[in-house]
């Protein structure tokens, strides 16, 4: 696969290194001369100097044949523009954009730039998993594919407590895949009983989330 990575910060450089390790062909583009020179010794011909929001710089890097473009600069508007141009002008099959400021996320959505990666969101999600302040946490969201994995804490008053996995009435297109109890996770059978305080992992169609929450008493 031929991948163009834009932005030679920590994320961009490490990503490039990993992709090369996995035997992909990679070009990293960096506009800051000092940073470019610092990384060039290691990455040699895999890094180019230039502003990737200038179309000729992308063309010089071979955007026409790129299978994937990953924009991980520190500027959200640059990441949006690079991905928009890669996708709409040059027909890149896949793009990934980094969101630096979570408040800019709606702009990425509005302009159809997806998927996006936001370090802040990821950390918040981990924090939520470690120290839940609500009884439901999103662990994975594949919006395009319409699938998600959520973790639901069962309270004392949940209608499913005391019943077995086989007995509980969950909506269509939802599936209970695991129970976390006292720090240990296991894949249940139909005979496993649900207890108050359990965290259950469910895979589901996001459109069923409200109904599922209602039936689990979350």
Partner 1 sequence: MFVLIVGCGRVGSMLARSMMRDGHTVSCLDQDPESHARVEVGLDGGWEELGGSFTVGAALETRALETAGIKQADAFVAATNGDNTNIVIAQIARKRYRVDTVIARILDPLRAEWYSQQGMHTICPTSVSVGMLENEIRAAASTGNGD
- Binding residues for partner 1 (CB under 8 A): 53-56, 75-78, 80-81, 85, 88-89, 101, 103-104, 106-107, 110-111
**In this complex, which beta carbon is closest to partner 1, that of residue 24 or of residue 60?**
60
Q: Which is nearer to partner 1, 78 or 198 (CB)?
A: 78
State which residue, 80 or 200, has the beta carbon closest to partner 1: 80
Nearest-approach distance from CB 55 to partner 1, in angstroms: 4
CB-nearer residue toward partner 1: 12 or 188:
12
Report in angstroms how near the CB of residue 106 gets to partner 1 at its nearest: 7
The DSSP code sequence of the chain is -EEEEE--SHHHHHHHHHHHHTT-EEEEEE--HHHHHHHHHHHGGGEEES-TTSHHHHHHTTGGG-SEEEE--S-HHHHHHHHHHHHHTT--SEEEEE-SSGGGHHHHHHTT--SEE-HHHHHHHHHHHHS-SSSEEEEEEETTTTEEEEEEEPPTT-TTTTSBTTT--PPTTEEEEEEEETTEEE---TTPBP-TT-EEEEEE-GGGHHHHHHHHT-
CB of 2 to partner 1, least distance (A): 22
Query: Residue 144 Cβ, how far from partner 1 at the closest point, in Å?
Result: 20
């Amino acid at each position: 696969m031929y991948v163009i990575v834009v932005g030679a910060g920590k994320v961009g450089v490490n990503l490039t290194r990993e992709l090369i390790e996995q035997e992909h062909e990679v070009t990293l583009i960096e506009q800051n001369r000092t940073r470019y020179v610092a990384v060039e010794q290691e990455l040699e011909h895999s890094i180019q100097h230039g502003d990737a929001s200038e179309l000729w710089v992308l063309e010089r890097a071979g955007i026409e044949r790129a299978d994937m473009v990953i924009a991980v600069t520190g500027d959200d508007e640059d990441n949006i523009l690079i991905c928009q141009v890669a996708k709409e002008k040059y027909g890149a099959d896949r793009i990934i954009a980094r969101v630096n400021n979570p408040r800019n996320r709606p702009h990425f959505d509005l302009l159809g730039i997806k998927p996006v990666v936001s370090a802040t969101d990821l950390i918040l999600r981990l924090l939520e998993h470690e120290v839940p302040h609500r009884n439901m946490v999103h662990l994975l969201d594949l919006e395009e594919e319409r699938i998600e994995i959520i973790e639901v804490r069962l309270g004392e008053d949940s209608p499913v407590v005391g019943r077995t996995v086989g007995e509980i009435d969950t909506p269509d297109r939802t599936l209970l895949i695991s129970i976390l109890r006292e720090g240990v996770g296991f894949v249940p059978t139909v005979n496993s009983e649900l207890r108050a305080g359990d965290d259950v992992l469910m895979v589901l169609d996001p459109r069923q989330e409200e109904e599922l929450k209602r039936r689990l008493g979350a």
